[in-house]
Chain A
Amino acid sequence: MRGSRLGHRLRVGGGVFVCALFLFPVFWMVLTSFKAPRDAFTRPPKLFFTPTLESYTAYLTFADVPGRMLNTVIVAAGAGLVSIVAGAMAGYALSRIRLRGAATIGAVILLSRGVPPIALAVPMFIVARQLDLLDRHITLILAYCTFLIPYVMWLMRGFFAALPRELEEAAAIDGCSRFGTFLRIIVPISLPGLIATFIFSVILAWEELLFALVLTSREAVTVPVAVAGIAADMTSGVNWSALCAVGTITVIPVVIFSLAVQKWLIQGLSDGATKA
């Protein structure tokens, strides 16, 4: 490539520096989660200290984090599954099957992604209350479908559109039904994209706060609600060790999963954003 060697080195160094800067808050959170409270509140802030699992053991049992974790897993996995199945099928229909009004449907879906969740949370709360569906996993799963299904439809539509047409034509000649073609031909070759989209949907559901705050109260409470509770606890001052411990537990699985599929994630997200 052109440009001076020094310029190139500066650019590489700049990139690494900025990356480190962006990662630092996560590092600091993990570090603080191993601090005893007396090490968390010091001047200057301590980089070296005797690590302890105090905040994990103390806080996790106290705030019923395992129970909330389980709720979050159930809700995130459930919402992810429902939306990948419904969303991928619909995305396939919009990209590969000639349908009258497909363009309109596509536009409506995109517009629906701009619906502020509060505009859905208010009526959902009222309806769920009437139907006695508050504080249930299924309610939260359905609520998450409002943003996950359009999201999956959008990503998978672009993904399917990039596949060669000959695939379906060959299958049609072999007498495969449309649904059979989808299941036996399209799904297997789209598996990487489907998995990446599924994982990203699970992550979005995993982190969701507003619906969880509104639609749960005791039994189906998720981890983000617990985090919000700790962060907002003004009376006793923020318990930083607890915040960081719960934060770390929330973030670690997501980081592992997303790094595992990072190649497809990067591809899928950038395609989904730019291919209209």
Chain B
Amino acid sequence: MTIGMKRPTRARLADTAGRWGFLTPAFLILAAVLAYPILYTIEISFSEIDIATFMPGEFVGWDNYETVLTDERFWYALRVTLIYLVFALPLQLLLGFVIAWLVNAEWRGRGVVRALFIIPMVVAPVVAGGIWKMMLDPLWGLTTYLLGLVGLPALDWFGDPVLAMGAIVLIDTWRWTPFVVLIATAGLLSLPRDVFEAAEIDGANWWTTLWRITIPLLVPVIAATFVVRWLGAVKMFDIALAATAGGPGRATNVINLFIYQEAFRGMKFAESAAMCVVVLVITTLLTGLFLRGSRVLEARFQ
């Protein structure tokens, strides 16, 4: 709407202030509660901490990092987290898209089914962990009974390291798949119909259509969904705490839970800060990488 005339400077300044004014509240809050704590964590990670005053004391250089990086338990927790991610995320994406396809079948009750899928998504993760702990109980649990009906033995979900990880993945998948279904549904609905009609006329079978047309068209949505799920999964804490408390042994002790225990049970704040910084660096790098990857995929397949 400008006519090429230079506006007076004061009005201009006021305009600039007005523009940035919108960002000010968010900026101030995030600077105080997001940026400052991160910087403070970095400071603590290079210091000793006095439990009596809770102030970072003497500068100790890389000592805390050395302690942490030579701690086999830290690496173990990272490994456990990686195992969880490697199983849970692909499973949830696959299930989510398959279920979205099922749910997208056109019939009268479609809207209701889709709405009901919101329910597991809003169950507090800690409650989800609790309910499933009850359902999977090897003695009184419902699943144990159902397995018994088909002649299968009781599974010691929380006593066996592999099964415990299975339980964590199962609970997490129950809680998060509906979210993937929701996004996938939107993605499936936005697919262009004419392409499929053309493929049908050309005599392409179901399998070819799926691999040659549907999946390539869905790649941007799949990538975006993966990123969002990743952002949620790096926060994994509640379910593990409620269902297994990290056990048996340390089999399901995901990194967030491990740092929590070290800091607040072990009172090792300086070492925990160092772990936080390491984890922060890893997750930020991976998030950046995934974001970039999803952009590239989006550009290539659109």
Question: What is the distance, in angstroms, from B196's C-beta to the closest C-beta of chain A?
Answer: 9
Residue A41 at the chain B interface, CB threshold 8 Å? yes
Does chain B have a CB within 8 A of A240? yes
Contact (Cβ within 8 A) A230 B105: no
Q: How far is the CB of B230 from chain A (nearest CB, A)?
A: 7
Indicate if the CB atoms of B19 and A227 lie closer than 8 Å. Answer: no
A262→B39 CA distance, assembly (Å): 39
B185 within 8 A of A: yes
Task: Kindly identify, within residues 273 to 302 of chain B, every residue whose CB is under 8 Å from any CB belonging to chain A.
Answer: 273, 276-277, 279-280, 283-284, 286-288, 291, 294-295, 298
**Stretch from A54-62, A63-71, A86-94 at the B interface:** A86-94
Partner of A142, one of B15, B32, B118, B177: B32
Contact of A231 (CB < 8 Å), options: B113, B133, B174: B133
Query: Is B4 positioned at the interface, with any CB of A under 8 Å from its CB?
Result: no
Q: Mark B101-125, 1 if CB is under 8 A from A, else 0.
A: 1111111010001111111111111
Knowing A25-B132, A209-B125 are in contact, say whether A119-B279 is a contact too (CB < 8 A). Answer: yes
B52 to chain A, nearest CB (A): 11
- Nearest B residue to A93, CB-CB: B22
Question: B68-76, B86-94, B257-265: which one contacts chain A?
Answer: B257-265
A185: Cβ under 8 A from any B Cβ: no
Enumerate chain B residues within 8 angstroms of A214, measured Cβ to Cβ: 260, 264
Interface extent on B, as a size class? 35 or more
Contacting pair B23 A43 (CB below 8 A)? no
Interface size on A, residues (CB 8 A): 104
Tell me if B157 is interfacial: C-beta within 8 Å of chain A: no
- In the complex, A110 has a CB within 8 A of chain B: yes
| Cross-chain contact A117 with B37 (CB below 8 angstroms) | no
A48 CB-CB contact with B under 8 Å = no
The total of Cβ contacts below 8 Å across the A-B interface reads 314
Say whether B295 contacts A276, CB under 8 Å: yes
Contact mask for chain A residues 103-117; partner B; CB cutoff 8 A; 1 contact, 0 none: 001010011111111
Contact B132–A116 (Cβ < 8 Å): no
Interface SS of chain A = helix
Task: Across the interface, name the chain A residue whose C-beta is closest to B125.
Answer: A207
When the two chains form their complex, are residues B140 and A269 in contact, meaning their CB atoms are under 8 A apart?
Answer: no
Which chain A residue lies CB-closest to B288? A111
Partner of A90, one of B22, B109, B127, B269: B22
Residues on B with C-beta less than 8 A from A250 are: 124, 127
Are A269 and B182 interface neighbours, CB within 8 A? yes
Decide if B122 touches A111 in the complex (CB within 8 Å): no
Give Cα distance in the complex from A142 to B32, angstroms.
9
Partner of B99, one of A18, A90, A119, A142: A18
List chain B residues, Cβ under 8 A from A122: 41, 44, 259, 263, 269, 272-273, 276
Q: Is B210 an interface residue (CB 8 A)?
A: no
Nearest opposing residue in chain A for B55, CB measure:
A130
- A121 cross-chain contacts in B, Cβ below 8 A: 260
A219 to B38 alpha-carbon distance, docked (Å): 27
The answer to whether residues A243 and B134 also contact, given A124-B37, A207-B126, A232-B242 and a CB cut-off of 8 A, is yes
Q: Are B30 and A145 in contact (CB under 8 A)?
A: yes
Cβ-closest chain B residue relative to A1:
B106
Chain A's closest residue to B286 (CB) is: A114
* Between-chain CB contacts (< 8 Å), 6 pairs: A116-B255, A178-B19, A210-B256, A213-B260, A227-B124, A265-B118
A residues near B, CB below 8 A? Answer: 1-2, 8, 11-12, 14-16, 18-19, 22-23, 25-26, 28-29, 32, 40-45, 82, 85-87, 89-90, 92-94, 97-99, 105, 107, 110-127, 129-130, 142-143, 145-146, 149-150, 153, 169, 172-173, 177-179, 182, 203, 206-207, 209-210, 213-214, 224, 227-228, 230-232, 238, 240, 243-244, 247, 250-251, 254-255, 258-259, 262, 265-266, 269-271, 273-274, 276
Top 6 A-B residue pairs of the complex, sorted by shortest distance between their CB atoms: A270-B186, A114-B287, A93-B22, A207-B124, A90-B26, A15-B102
| Seed contacts A122-B276, A179-B18; 14 additional CB < 8 Å A-B pairs | A15-B105, A25-B132, A89-B25, A90-B25, A111-B287, A115-B284, A116-B279, A119-B277, A122-B272, A123-B40, A178-B19, A214-B264, A265-B118, A276-B298
